[in-house]
Each structure stands twice: as C-alpha cells, then as structure tokens.
Amino acid sequence: MPDSARHGGWATVLVGLSGGFLASQVGWPLPWMVGSLLAVILIRCLTPWQLKEIPGGRKGGQWIIGIGIGLHFTPTVVEQVASHFGLIFFGALLTSLSSVVGVWLLRRTGEDRATAFFSSMPGGSGEMVNLGASNGAVLSQVAAAQSLRVLVVVLCVPAAFKFLLGDGVPLQHTGNVDWHWLAVVLPLGGLVAWAWQRLHQPNPWLFGPLLVAASVSIGWNLQIGLPDGASQIGQWLIGSGLGCHFNRAFFRRAPSFLGRTLIATSLSMLIAGMAAWALSLATHLDLRSLTLGMMPGGIAEMSLTAETLQLSVPLVTALQVMRLLFVLFLAEPLFHHWTRHTE
C-alpha cells in the first residue's frame, strides 16, 4: 500500500501545487488555498495515500500571510479603522453570540453541555480543544466541529463573494516591494512568532508576524507589500496543511454530529450576513468587507479573501481579531456561568 510518509511532505507538496494550479486556471477565488485544500482532501479520501502535512508548512504559510496582512496597515488606515471601533466591537460581539444557535442545536440533539458549547465557539481549533479538555468535552467532536467550520467557510465564502457579489473597489495600497524593509520585517516576524509559541499564545505564527509588520508599517508609514507570488505560496502552504486534517474516517465518524455542525455553521453564516447587511445600511460601510469580517472563519482565510477581492483588509482583520479575542477571553467564564445557573 502506498504510504506518503515515506516521502515526508513531498507528495503533499506536489498534490497541493497541482490543485492550486488547476484552480487558478479555472479562475477559482483563493485558488492556491482552495485548490490545494481540495486536492489533498480528495487524495486522502479517495486513495490509500494518507498525505502528511509539510513539516512547518502551515506555520510558514501563516508567517507569510501575517506579514502581508500587517503591511496593509498604515497611519491613515488605522485612523479610519479606529473611527469605527464601536461598530467593530458590536459586530464582533454579535458574531460571537451567534454561536448560541450551534450550542442550542447540539444540545437539543443530545450532545453534552461542554461538547456542544466548545464545538460551537468560533475560535481557533487548538484553543477550543484545550478549553474543552479542561471542561470535560469530547475532544474528538470538538476538533471535528472546529475543523469542519473552517472548511465550510473557506470553501463557500470566497466562492460566494466572487461569483455572486463580484469584485470590490480597488484599495489605495501601492504594494511596492522594498527588500530592505522586508529583510527586517520577515525575520523579526518569525522571531516574534517563535517567542509567542514558546509562551503558548494563540495562533502565534499569524499574530506574531502580523503585529510586527503592522507596527513597522504604521510607525514608518511604509506603504509597501510582499513580492508577487508570496501570497500564493502562503495560500498553498495553509491549504495543504488544512487538507491533511481530513480523510474518510473523519467524514464517517459520527455523521449525524457533523451534519448538525454543518447546519449550525450555515445558520451562523446566515446570521453574520444579515447583521453585516444591517450594519452596512446604518453606517454606509462596504457590505462585502463587513460580511467577511463577521464570518466565523479564520483570520488568515478571511483577510486573504478580502485582499483577493480588493476589499478593506484592515477592517476585515480588525473584526476577525476582535471576535477571536471575545471567544478566547469570554468562552470559559460564560460556560462556567451557564453551568452554575442551570444545575
């Protein structure tokens, strides 16, 4: 039986590149992420090859994407985002609260309290699994629900935006490449990511480089970007890594639970879209950017979608980061409060 483990991550490299190239040829949104993701999943599900994640690949992809997102922040952009802080706070809070739908649905269909709660929270998979572990959740189901949520959002949202809503208004972002500054920002971002990982901070390989790039870009008003092809490399690495979390056993495991999680994720996305529409009417901000910012997906994936569609990357990133902070800091206290008052 073929075993990709003999080849390390080389088989995953080739499959991911092939999927990304094919998706780019048909004009699929986020082609190098979605294409590599689907290609790896298909190989793992339809063949005996259980492709292994490229060593350090997903971290490297997040490092590149984090730098790219951070370079979108300039003093002018930060002022514009800060002027909408109340909206960002409210939008992120509303997105976090929409997870109540998932909790209610899973509880109504027989899941225990901790599993239903931490499976439905729109936070990072690793962080929710850790919180679930300390509160008695079924970890395999929490991990499965979180992975499925990200998969659904990554596959559906960019496609819906590209084919139903069209392109956004081009941003005033020069994107000039300055290798002198990049020679400082790239290694410094990696160093901060490594330090954050050692301190057990959430999502270190995205947040560390993002923080470094944004700080330098704002402090020196750089208005620069990554070279052509860097975003595609980051997409490919992230997509290939994410695809390695899925195989036939994943989809066969508790299909009823996965189906209910899919319904809950779809409802959360619908609530986010309706809330973004209402906020857009009230504030006249771009509906696409607000919707992306409020989707219960990953920061890197939604910010990349905003960049690809020429939307407001800083606004999307701010909404996503605020939502993640809400979940990370409030999920466990709210769970304990719910437990105490329903016993």
pLDDT > 70? residue 343: no
Confidence of residue 289 (pLDDT cuts 50, 70, 90): very high
Contact of 294 with 276, CB cutoff 8 Å? yes
pLDDT > 90? residue 182: yes
pLDDT > 50? residue 172: no
Per-residue CA distances from 133 to 101, 179, 326, 332 (Å): 22, 44, 19, 11
Least confident window among 6-15, 81-90, 99-108, 229-238: 6-15
Q: Tens digit of pLDDT for each residue in 121-136? A: 998 888 899 999 999 9
Domain range list for the chain: 58-340
pLDDT > 90? residue 308: no
Give the residue-averaged pLDDT of 202-207.
92
3-class SS at 86?
A: helix
What is the reported pTM?
Answer: 0.89
Contact of 59 with 51, CB cutoff 8 Å? no
pLDDT > 90? residue 195: yes
Residue 165: per-residue pLDDT: 61
Q: Tens digit of pLDDT for each residue in 146-169? A: 999 999 999 999 888 877 766 544
* Residue 332: half-sphere exposure toward Cβ, Cα within 13 Å: 13
What average pLDDT is seen over the chain?
90
Percent of the chain whose predicted confidence (pLDDT) is above 70:
94
Residue 4: per-residue pLDDT: 44
Residue 171: per-residue pLDDT: 44
pLDDT > 50? residue 207: yes
Short-list 145, 167, 164, CA closest to 156: 164
Residue 143: per-residue pLDDT: 92
Residue 5: per-residue pLDDT: 46
Q: Which long-range contacts (CB under 8 A, 24 or more apart) does 20-25 make?
A: 20/232, 20/235, 20/236, 20/239, 24/232
Residue 170: per-residue pLDDT: 46
Residue 27: per-residue pLDDT: 84
Short-list 203, 214, 212, 190, CA closest to 318: 214
Question: 123 Cβ partners below 8 Å, 6+ apart?
Answer: 146, 324, 327, 328, 331
